[in-house]
Amino acid sequence: MKHVVITKPHEMLHGERMTAEKRAEKELDEQFEVYYDILNDLMGPDTIQSLIDERHLSIVPLGLLRGRVLRDSFILVDEAQNADKHWMRLAVTRAGQNSRTIVTGNPVQSNLPSGEMSGLAHLLKLIEGRDLARVHTFRPNDVVRNDTVAKIEALYAQAGETDLDLALQRD
């Protein structure tokens, strides 16, 4: 692989207005800072900047992938539960020769407008029972940021509150 592409759909935050630019998924904003934070911790800011300058690393909004064919690339589509069916289709059809696409997300944590189906949930239904992709579902005890978070997750599990339960309480 010669190129790593990290992308995600824009997520409308509480009180945020949907702009034409954000709907077009072309506006880079603070929602992408998390990737720089993680990569800077792993490799340092100078290495990250060098990879970007040499075009080995791209961190871009999903809309900037429109029309592109990504050859020899590792493509990470993060927070995919916030992509609608249109954007999910765009995301998973960018891979060219010698490329791999990883799609991550939690279908029950979608922040799409009410009534709009998550493209991730739709994709999972499309590929179910077919030999097209591998699907891995993490259990709550698989995701541990630190010991305190693990203990808090255990308390939620003891209380019987799943992500789905919490999402339903919100709506």
Write the CATH number for 12: 3.40.50.300
Are residues 129 and 148 located together in one domain of the fold?
no
Are residues 108 and 159 located together in one domain of the fold?
no
Are residues 153 and 106 located together in one domain of the fold?
no
Quote the tokens at residue 93.
């059809």
| Distance separating alpha carbons of residues 121 and 74, to the nearest angstrom | 22
Domain boundaries, position 147: 139-171
CA dihedral 125, 127, 133, 137 (to 10 degrees): 20
Question: pTM value?
Answer: 0.80
Instruction: Please write the tens of the pLDDT for every residue from 138-168.
Output: 876 677 778 888 788 778 878 876 555 555 5
What's the domain count of the chain?
2
| Distance separating alpha carbons of residues 166 and 157, to the nearest angstrom | 11
Quote the tokens at residue 37.
């934070």
Amino acid at 6: I
DSSP 118: P
Quote the tokens at residue 166.
């919490």
pLDDT band at 80 (very low <50, low <70, confident <90, very high): very high
Instruction: Please write the tens of the pLDDT for every residue from 99-138.
Output: 999 999 988 788 888 888 899 999 999 999 999 999 998 8
Strand 3-8 with 57-61, pairing: parallel
Q: Is 62 exposed, middle or buried (0-12, 13-18, 19+ CB in 10 A)?
A: buried
